[in-house]
Amino acid sequence: MQYKYKKKLYKILFIVILLSFIVSLVGCDWFSLGLLNIFDPQAQIRLSELNINDDGTVDMKIFSLNQVEFIGSGFEFDYYQGASRVTSLDRTVGAYYYVAPSSSPGEAGAETEITGLYLYSSAVLNYIKLYSAFNEISCDLYIVGTDEAGHDLKIKVADGLSALGVDNTPPEAIITIIPSEGDCPLTVIFDGSGSNDGEGIGIAKYEWYLPQISSSVISTDICFSKELSCSLIIPATDSGEVITVSLTVTDYHGNEDAAAGSVKITKP
């Protein structure tokens, strides 16, 4: 009888110890990686802070939630337009950083700060410009590296980030016309290169209008030339005619601005 009681007591003690061990691991999400992770632990990296800047860069802080260090080798970006994945834009950025292990399971370790990480690339900008996908492109951010146990890890730290940051400031449209007057037929250069987006990423789209020539956009170039014919002078007198031009510029966030100018043509 005494042997049976001892056997039951040992079972109870074993269960209590096992439950205590399990509780200490729950905070580390160890079981989400499988029971094997208890005996072969992987680094558990978490995000503590993330800020998206106006210039499309991100600053963040990450830390380890268990006693396994992490040696980062880079970052991966997966891009989406709405809910649709745009795999042609996916990219990897190489960078080395270190995340120290925590002092005990479930407790946050020392934070590692990462700053100035660009969320976009030239391919993303070209895609937005080509498809006018302003404010439509988001990205998921992963950290990539190896922990001290030798596991090659790719860990998602954020998703649905605005790939270009946030910018509600409109650009400024500026027109230069050379020459500003002359006899017809007159070849005129319309130049919008002085337009700017302040401290933003840049101008994504230029739209030129010459309403006396066409009701549609006449050019989408930064700079273009156009011959103004004598037929534009109505009535046909020597007093000449003022031809108006307008330029609408759009930045990569979809903000717009417009400017107008004019050129006077006369009959020789």
Residue extents of the structural domains in the chain: 41-162, 176-266
Question: Does 41-162 match 176-266 in CATH topology?
Answer: yes
Which residue in this structure is represented by tokens 């498809």?
131
Q: Is the pLDDT of residue 59 over 70?
A: yes
Q: What is the pLDDT of residue 6?
A: 56
Q: What is the pLDDT of residue 233?
A: 84
Q: What is the pLDDT of residue 64?
A: 94
The top-level CATH class assigned to 176-266 is: mainly beta
- Say how far apart CA 118 and CA 163 lie, in whole Å: 9
Residue 193: pLDDT band with limits 50, 70, 90: very high
Contact 30, 43 (CB under 8 A): no
pTM of the predicted protein model: 0.78
- On the question of a cis peptide bond just before residue 170, with omega within 30 degrees of 0, the verdict is no
Share of the chain above pLDDT 90, in %: 69
The top-level CATH class assigned to 41-162 is: mainly beta
